């Protein structure tokens, strides 16, 4: 996984609550057995006029002009600003894969669904939780100013606005460490192999019916 330290980018506003993973990446695209290539189908039903199919060339499909990511001012956005309970619904990791493949590295919202939140970190996306008022203010600023950019500094745990004002954010220290260093969870866990084996031996003794068969 690539390291995530600091970045500056255009912010795209997704101004609706409870954006679900079926909307982020519709079911027909889950048939892929790969992790990549989901970007063109991110928000497929909201983004295109027609119904998308897997494996299709999306470059000539008719776009819904009013959809936020189709507006010229948000091209190149790497930060998605969202409302409460972003990423609710299914556990499909295809949702963060699609966001990442499209180019998003950060999602800011007042709250996230638990599984999506977890899945994001594992794919180098930083989900940032800010209070309702701060998110609301950011929406107003993004709408008001074309080309609005934020700097996300994970090391300092700060967002910096175009006018220089900054907003502190919280992030789990373990997740922060993994993102800053681009660490792979499995490698980290296997450093504790002996402890897992010891736990397992004990469990086998106390609950032998859970083993074998």
* Contact set for another protein, span 122-151 (CB under 8 A): 122-123
Residue 179 CA, chain-centre distance (Å), reads 13
* Contact set for another protein, span 60-89 (CB under 8 A): 83-85, 88-89
41 part of the interface to another protein, by CB under 8 A? no
168 and 201 Cβ atoms separated by less than 8 Å = no
- Close Cβ partners of 79 (under 8 Å, ≥ 6 residues apart): 9, 10, 11, 12, 104, 105, 106, 107, 108, 150, 152
Residue of 5, 8, 49, 51 that binds another protein (CB under 8 A): 51
Residue of 56, 70, 71, 118 that binds another protein (CB under 8 A): 118
Residue of 8, 75, 91, 181 that binds another protein (CB under 8 A): 91
Stretch that binds another protein, among 65-73, 140-148, 156-164, 190-198 (CB under 8 A): 190-198
Residue of 3, 6, 35, 140 that binds another protein (CB under 8 A): 35
* Residue 192 in tokens: 């504790």
Angle at 12 between CA 98 and CA 130, to 5 degrees: 95
Tally: H helices and E strands in the chain: 8, 7
Q: How far from each other are the two terminal CA atoms of the chain, in whole angstroms?
A: 36
19 and 87 Cβ atoms separated by less than 8 Å = yes
How many residues interact with another protein (rule CB under 8 A)?
59
Nearer to another protein, 114 or 155 (CB): 114
Residue of 100, 119, 128, 130 that binds another protein (CB under 8 A): 119
Angle at 157 between CA 152 and CA 158, to 5 degrees: 55
Q: Which residues bind another protein (CB under 8 A)?
A: 16-18, 20, 22-23, 26-28, 30-35, 45, 51, 54-55, 83-85, 88-93, 96, 111-115, 118-119, 122-123, 172-174, 185-186, 189-190, 192, 195-196, 199-200, 203, 206-213
């Amino acid at each position: 996984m690539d390291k995530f330290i600091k970045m500056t980018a255009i912010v795209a506003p997704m101004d609706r609550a409870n954006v679900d993973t079926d909307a982020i990446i519709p079911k027909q695209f889950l048939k892929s057995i790969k992790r990549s290539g989901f970007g063109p189908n991110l928000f497929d039903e909201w983004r295109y006029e027609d119904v998308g199919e897997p494996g299709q060339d999306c470059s000539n499909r008719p776009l819904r002009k009013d959809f936020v990511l189709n507006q010229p001012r948000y091209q190149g956005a790497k930060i998605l600003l969202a409302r409460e309970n972003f990423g609710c619904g299914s556990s499909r990791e295809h949702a963060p894969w699609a966001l990442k493949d499209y180019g998003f590295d950060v999602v800011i919202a007042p709250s996230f669904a638990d599984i999506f939140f977890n899945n994001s970190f594992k794919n180098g996306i930083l989900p940032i939780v800010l209070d309702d008022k701060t998110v609301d203010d950011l929406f107003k600023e993004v709408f008001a100013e074309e080309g609005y950019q934020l700097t996300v500094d994970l090391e300092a745990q700060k967002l910096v606005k175009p006018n220089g004002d900054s907003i502190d954010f919280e992030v789990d220290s373990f997740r922060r460490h993994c993102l800053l260093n681009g660490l792979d969870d499995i490698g980290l866990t296997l450093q504790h192999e002996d402890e897992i084996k010891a736990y397992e031996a004990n469990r086998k003794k106390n609950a032998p019916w859970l083993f074998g068969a």
